[in-house]
């Protein structure tokens, strides 16, 4: 149970990082890379059959790409909402 809450917390932190990018708040590159790394590691659960880990892998890719390019808003909002949903569901 505690592991599920920790993994949900990772989702919420990454979603807040994406929200900061969406609203134009300067985010430290270390925070972006840390969130992307944690999501990538969480995304490796796809090998166990968890299909929602594909969202984690996609979001990690979006975070890394956002270091170099300004992405359209849909590429930031869509993973944000999915991660927030996953994060909040893991707390209940």
Residue 63 CA to residue 29 CA, distance in Å, equals 10
Asked if 36 and 64 touch (Cβ cutoff 8 Å), the reply is yes
Give the 3-state secondary structure percentages of the chain, helix then strand then coil, rounded to 5: 75, 0, 25
Reported pTM = 0.88
Is pLDDT above 90 for 92? no
Mean pLDDT, residues 46-50: 86
Q: In the chain, what are the domain boundaries?
A: 2-86
Asked if 59 and 39 touch (Cβ cutoff 8 Å), the reply is yes
């Amino acid at each position: 149970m505690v592991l599920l809450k920790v993994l949900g917390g990772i989702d919420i932190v990454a979603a807040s990082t994406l929200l900061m990018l969406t609203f134009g708040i300067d985010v430290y590159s270390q925070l972006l890379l840390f969130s992307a790394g944690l999501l990538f590691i969480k995304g490796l659960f796809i090998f166990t059959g968890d299909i929602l880990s594909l969202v984690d892998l996609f979001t990690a890719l979006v975070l890394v790409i956002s270091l170099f390019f300004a992405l359209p808003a849909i590429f930031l909002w869509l993973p944000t909402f999915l991660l927030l949903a996953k994060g909040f569901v893991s707390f209940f």
